[in-house]
Amino acid sequence: MLHCPIKKYVLLLLSIFLLTNRSTAGGDIFPIGARQAGMGRTSVAITDFWNIQNNQAGIALIDKYSAGIYYESRFLINRLSTKDVAVVVPTGIGVLGATFNYFGYELYNEMKIGLVYARSFSPWFRMGLQLDYLITTLGDNYGSTGNVTFELGIQSDVAKNLTIGAWVYNPIQVKLADYNNEKIPAIFRLGLSWQILKGFIANVEAEKNTNIAPILVRAGLEYGFNGKFFIRGGFSTQQEIFSMGFGMKIKFLRFDISAVMHQTLGFSPQSSLIVQF
């Protein structure tokens, strides 16, 4: 068993490695929500509560007060987990929302606080904007940094059963630190969602991160039974090679679980719960 100080620094080094794997600082880049994770982390073109984090245009059609919690254990290491809470409030002039995201533990953590506004501008077009305050903290008296940025998303129903979505995070690439002129990367996603049959949808999307050369491609499927039970699967062209998940919706509750497989580091399980009033 590792001596306590050594264990702390091993965890710190692993956190830094995972930060590199996440390809950003001061903000999470993975789509939030166990439903999305089960479909290969595809998210940009669907209408869903957790699009409050993934593509804010995707909450513009929500007509009920909603709240949700999400948890992901990265590679089954609780200290390197992601926790998220969010609320959505429909109004007469659009949909308002607030989110809080936390990744890490006491030696290294990232927090993101977001305020969201989304609105439908026609039966087939909607847009959403999120203002973010990002806090990155390095423990043992190294201090923390704070940054302000934004996210912007759009969705368009180009056909009865086909939706296209686009989303950008931090297009202004705010500076994280003066050392080496380090900046938080910009992230762009473009994708589509096709309802093949009632209850059966297929998603595909591409992601470009300004800190990573290759374009990431994701794809996923979901099949629902009577609108109450769901099975999901997906894959990615990068290190997260496949995923699977299940969901259940009963009256005002929706519960989803999933797991994403990394080709070298193993499984990352996710779970989320949504309540609508």
The position carrying tokens 């100080």 is 5
Which pTM was predicted?
0.87
C-beta of residue 165 within 8 angstroms of C-beta of residue 57: yes
- In tens, the pLDDT along 29-55 reads 789 999 999 999 999 999 999 999 999
pLDDT the model gives residue 95: 98
**Confidence band, pLDDT 50/70/90 cuts, at residue 14:** low
217/93 Cα distance (integer angstroms)? 35
Q: Report the DSSP beta bridge partners of residue 246.
A: 231, 257
> 7: burial class by Cβ within 10 Å (0-12, 13-18, 19+)?
exposed
Any idea where the domains of the chain sit in the sequence?
A: 4-276
141/118 Cα distance (integer angstroms)? 39
Looking at domain 4-276, its CATH superfamily turns out to be: monomeric porin ompg (2.40.160.40)
Beta strands 200-209 and 187-197, pairing class:
antiparallel
Residue 22 pLDDT > 80: no
57/156 Cα distance (integer angstroms)? 9
pLDDT the model gives residue 11: 53
DSSP for 41-53 reads T--TTS--TTHHH
**Confidence band, pLDDT 50/70/90 cuts, at residue 181:** low
Q: Report the DSSP beta bridge partners of residue 269.
A: 259
- Total number of residues shown for the chain: 277
41/97 Cα distance (integer angstroms)? 21
pLDDT the model gives residue 32: 95
**Confidence band, pLDDT 50/70/90 cuts, at residue 178:** low
What torsion, rounded to 10 degrees, do the Cα atoms 14, 133, 187, 137 define? -10
Q: Would you tell me how many other CB atoms lie within 10 Å of the CB of residue 91?
A: 9
Q: Which two tokens stand for residue 67?
A: 């709240």
> 237: burial class by Cβ within 10 Å (0-12, 13-18, 19+)?
middle
- In tens, the pLDDT along 80-139 reads 899 999 999 999 899 999 999 999 888 888 999 999 999 999 999 999 999 999 998 887
Residue 1 pLDDT > 60: no
Residue 213 pLDDT > 90: no
170/163 Cα distance (integer angstroms)? 24
